[in-house]
Structure 1
């Protein structure tokens, strides 16, 4: 599996994807995840996730803000 775009940050609101970004480096993905919380966390209903793509091409959530989907 190529590692290009292996880590994905997703911003959703009310269940709809607002924007996504993907990076090959986990540290970059984590930095963007934290940055997006600061930039977009005040949007009503915002949920921000960091996920990693597995070898079978499925996505595994690594971090989420807020911690649980309310």
Structure 2
């Protein structure tokens, strides 16, 4: 996967074309959470029935916190927050 977030782009949506971590992937970065969520939902609608892994994350310092993720096998998951 290539690409880096520009300053202010706190939301990342990643589409990995295989459920494992080594599959080819693409990602986009946004400043607006509504835009990122709309892209996430669009990708779930387009690729959700394939063996893809789709996730939306929010930047938290130097890390990315997963807000939602999707796989065909599990559907949507929302990690619990501390």
Instruction: Compute the TM-score of the two structures, normalised by the length of structure 2.
Output: 0.68
> Is there any run of 5+ residues in structure 1 with no aligned partner, and where?
none
**RCO (CA 8 Å, sep 6+): is it higher in 1 or 2?**
1
Aligned-partner Cα distance in 2 for 1:48–1:35: 10
Match of 2:45 in 1: 38
CA offsets 1:17-66 (integer angstroms, 9 cap, x no match): 4111110100000000000011122322x110000001x22100001113
**Contact 1:10–1:17 (CA under 8 A) maintained in structure 2:** no
CA separation of 1:59/1:17 partners in 2, compared to 1, >3 Å: closer, same or farther?
A: farther
Does residue 50 (structure 1) correspond to residue 56 (structure 2)? The answer is: yes
Task: Report the number of matched residues.
Answer: 64
Q: Which of residues 42, 63, 66 in structure 1 aligns to 2:68?
A: 63
**Which consecutive unaligned segments of at least 5 residues does structure 2 have?**
1-6, 78-82
**Match of residue 13 from structure 2:** 9
